[in-house]
Chains A and B, each alone.
Chain A
Amino acid sequence: MSTNDAKLNRRQFLAATTAVVTSASAASWVWAASAQGAPVKSVAARVVVIGGGYAGATVARFLRAANPSIDVTLIEPRRTFYSCAYSNLVIGGLRPVSAIRFGYDGVAATGVHMVFDRANRVDPVAKTVRTDGGLEFSYDRLVMAPGIEIIWNAIPGYDKAAAELMPHAWEAGPQTLLLRKQIEEMPNGGVVAIAPPTNPFRCPPGPYERASLIANYLQAAKPRSKLLILDSKEHFSKQILFQRAWTELYGDLIEWHGVFDFGPLIAVKPTEKVLVTESREIHVDVANVIPPQRAAQIAQTTGLADETGWCPIDPVTFESTLQAGIHVLGDAAIAGAMPKSAFAANAQGKVCAVQVARLLNGEPPIRTKLANTCYSLIAPGYGISIAGVYEPGDNLLESIKGAGGISPIHASAEFRRLEADYGSSWFRTITTQVFG
């Protein structure tokens, strides 16, 4: 019996628990959550996880913690993960790119088998996954966490080649650096445009945090410049907080145009740096086009996505409602009121790990609540947040009424400073938990 077990048995309200836990390094809450009632069986169940981002890396290592006898394989094509979260700070020149770069040694150290390859075919009946490298893996349960893909040409003219001239920077890495470089090279007095998509998309406050931090850079380095936001929406996340802060910090440097001003973006002319909206053609110096997105390709070809392009799931287990035995997490999933955020992907990964371990062990899943907090940085020392608490509803995760919401509209400078600090602490904490 491990020391953990002895501790557990001393607890009065746990008298009935008889689980045998073999790993002293198991995360205690995961361990307890999978240890209800029956002893953990020693079958070597196999779980394959596709995608080593916030959701996939979390679920992989927490599965190992939930039950160390589970054989976990994580398939991810890249050895280096670039985080989208905090990439706006790199674009704004506040952090070096090394701050958003992570490897998988920490994940591998938990006993997860890392396979650096791209999954290209899932057979949900035979329960196998094949990779570009010609490998084949069998699974008892599969976790699909591949994030998003850009829908090329959804905006006519915006294809992969266009993204080299007008970066989206909505997948971090080279795109992040390209946008940073273009802004750095732009002359004083230039115009930067950001064109955000309609909902739903990855990180609803992301475009506006980006606008803030680019403005922060321009104000100091190129004060005669302008930042235009050509939105395809009428409203956006944390709008009142962003707009008040923009006026307060950046005067009229940032100009937001809702879809009602010029209509949606209907085409791009990348070589001319022209954005075409319904009512006008706008020539800019730097164009950051954030195009429409959907669940990544492997989720589409596996038949996990519905007509919206995203993957419907059971809100308790995250199991696909279209393919049995496959759980979908993170940005690819339709998680109801839960936004497509790294915080949410991590929380879902932890919950899903426990549900998968229980299902493999013949135990019923547990209904639970999940929380999310997304911080946005508007300037150094000026942060805001949006939070929510969610529970499974009729078929989706629903917001608990009366909980969550945005930072107060009237708050002290100290409050904004604290939320800026918490944002950076959150980033360090989450990346240590997922990749460390």
Chain B
Amino acid sequence: MHFRQLLRRHSLRFLAVAAVTINAVPAQSGESVADIALLTASCSGCHAKNLPNDDFPQIYGRPASEIREAMLAYRSDELSGTVMNRIAKGYSESEIDAMAQYLAEHAGPKSEDLAN
């Protein structure tokens, strides 16, 4: 099933069931929030915070467990998307953990963010 359909139909609930709640722990020792923020820079090429439409799933403010499980499932091809399977394979599990945590904590009213 595709991620978008999946989001629409299940709001990622079935992924969340399997997900473990991640406590706020940095991904790797030495990795700062600045590093992680920068790692998410390319995500917003499509999943921008200020989306002009709802064509791409909103990732900012989504529970970290959902993002993490989705990314890991794409990475292992358990979940088939279109391009996300190819992109997820470029990141380590600890990077995915850290990015998920970061994105989850950076929601905010659309008007507050000019660039995302």
- Our pick among B56, B82, B102 for the contact of A385 (Cβ within 8 Å) is B82
Total interface residues on B, CB under 8 Å, equals 48
Which residue of A28, A61, A403, A407 has the most chain B CB atoms within 10 A of its CB atom? A28
Question: Which residue from chain A places its CB closest to the CB of B55 in the assembled complex?
Answer: A425
- Our pick among A24, A370, A432 for the contact of B41 (Cβ within 8 Å) is A370
Question: Which residue from chain B places its CB closest to the CB of A385 in the assembled complex?
Answer: B83
Q: Which 6 pairs between the two chains have the least Cβ-Cβ distance?
A: A389-B90, A425-B55, A403-B90, A27-B115, A371-B42, A36-B34
Which residues from chain B contact A65 at a C-beta distance below 8 Å? 114-115
| Chain A 1-33 per-residue mask, 1 if CB under 8 angstroms from chain B, else 0 | 000000100011110010000001111111111
Please report A residues at the B interface, Cβ cutoff 8 Å. 7, 11-14, 17, 24-36, 61-62, 65, 110, 343, 346-347, 350-351, 354, 366, 368-373, 385, 387-389, 400, 402-405, 407, 415, 418-419, 421-422, 424-426, 428-430, 432-433, 436
| Docked-complex contact B53 and A422, CB < 8 angstroms | no
| Docked-complex contact B91 and A343, CB < 8 angstroms | no
Which residues from chain A contact B35 at a C-beta distance below 8 Å? 33, 366, 368
Question: Which residue from chain B places its CB closest to the CB of A66 in the assembled complex?
Answer: B115
Which residues from chain A contact B50 at a C-beta distance below 8 Å? 432-433, 436
Which residues from chain B contact A426 at a C-beta distance below 8 Å? 45-46
Give the shortest distance, in Å, between B103 (CB) and chain A (any CB).
9
Question: Which residue from chain A places its CB closest to the CB of B105 in the assembled complex?
Answer: A11
Give the shortest distance, in Å, between A377 (CB) and chain B (any CB).
14
Which residues from chain B contact A404 at a C-beta distance below 8 Å? 86-87, 89-90
| Docked-complex contact B90 and A429, CB < 8 angstroms | no
Which residue of A25, A27, A110, A426 has the most chain B CB atoms within 10 A of its CB atom? A27
Which residue of B82, B91, B112 has the most chain A CB atoms within 10 A of its CB atom? B82
| Docked-complex contact B34 and A369, CB < 8 angstroms | no
New A-B contacts (13) at CB < 8 Å, excluding given A403-B88, A429-B52 = A12-B23, A24-B112, A29-B40, A30-B37, A350-B41, A368-B35, A368-B39, A369-B91, A426-B46, A428-B53, A433-B48, A436-B50, A436-B52
| Docked-complex contact B33 and A429, CB < 8 angstroms | no
Complex alpha-carbon distance, A373 and B85, angstroms: 12
Which residues from chain A contact B41 at a C-beta distance below 8 Å? 29, 347, 350-351, 354, 368, 370
Complex alpha-carbon distance, A24 and B87, angstroms: 31
Give the shortest distance, in Å, between B5 (CB) and chain A (any CB).
9
B:23-45 near A, CB below 8 Å: 23-26, 32-35, 37-45
Question: Which residue from chain A places its CB closest to the CB of B23 in the assembled complex?
Answer: A12
Which residues from chain A contact B87 at a C-beta distance below 8 Å? 371, 373, 387, 389, 403-404
